[in-house]
Structure 1
């Protein structure tokens, strides 16, 4: 009996290049960014990282919004109409966004209509979610089921490490992604915070005095995570409105992790407007995703 055809869905915070997503057959559901009184789909011409960074610098009101369950349901129905027998839907941490909940609600309705949908809460954000979605696509391409693809995505996400530096904790505080006390403490000490994703939420990791030291430490943390993996890894450096510093870190990691990368390039990308709204201009992140066999 032939394996079922499996479609892979993710959301725009996975930070996948549109061409790569299309090449791998992934469907990307956009979150929305609200600038002033106007809401835009992430990835649209109106919701570019540049426009988002400009709005934040000008202290214009910026917020974000999850996709409605109806949007996911239509996505799942479209996958079925295109021939998919099952769907795996891979998303950012449910602790930080209602996106996963929307996917789950839509999945229940889709199952009532006869389409099996497996939802994955990666408990990650950004590129770590993207790597998980790509692992799901690998399994689907190899003829695996949606359940097997979901298991691969969850395992890849759990094995991944995400570290990031922000110029200020204020944007995370405004969005409710980190406690107000931490934001005030960071400002009072004029420190540069290093953060990580732990148990699906933003967690304070270390504090250093200068941005230069913060970026150096970010590199050390990424190298340690890659070496701990004891096998090949994929690495991404992401940023918002800081391409030069991100490029320098990516070059350094490419050199220091040449053996673990095994010929792969360090992916360097700018995050989208939704994640950018919560971290602010100047953010630099390093994600290390072990390649699981």
Structure 2
């Protein structure tokens, strides 16, 4: 173990992609790391904050693609910590929102390692914000649900019909991650609990220069994604808050309140 510093292990959220959306605490953790385990969706520009002497290990994790086994990543973190390193596990978005951060914390604690977590801006928030719309609104959305469209193997996944029914009754915004590959199943289920005219925003590569987006309705969601050829990684936001997007308001001049009524 190096006598120069005390080993540590920190899960850091790198945000949705734009390196300027990093928190100051994230920048400090990245700069202090001696080993960084970096997910595939982390912008390379974020690594400009790393020490020139830090060891950077890319442990790709991208939905629908071959990924580094989670058990291997867990082992790397434990081994590096026990070798006296300052370990940073760098994740896209936020570690605790579909980033497997909970699983990694459990594994590290079981190994006797204390873990710190630095939150990051999640793409579900950054995507709709980039269009000028909120996730909640006193008139149109009393809450927000973050949900994954990618079920664990052997798991039946989300009950989309029940979720849609609840969202409609309670005025909730739905933010769906990793849903492109299951789009037909998701849209069919949501349409059984939400009106076909429910607004939807789809944002690919949120916050990056390559960002692409489409505003549509739930009834035309599948057709819109096919026409626009939007692919992963994308988030889908379902609910009346989407009507607050600049492009939606520009296309429809009447007030948001009137449209949502």
Normalised-by-shorter TM-score class: 0.3 to 0.5
Larger Rg: 2
What is the TM-score normalised by the length of structure 2? Answer: 0.35
**Which structure has the highest helix share of the two?**
1
Superposition TM-score, scaled by structure 1 size: 0.32
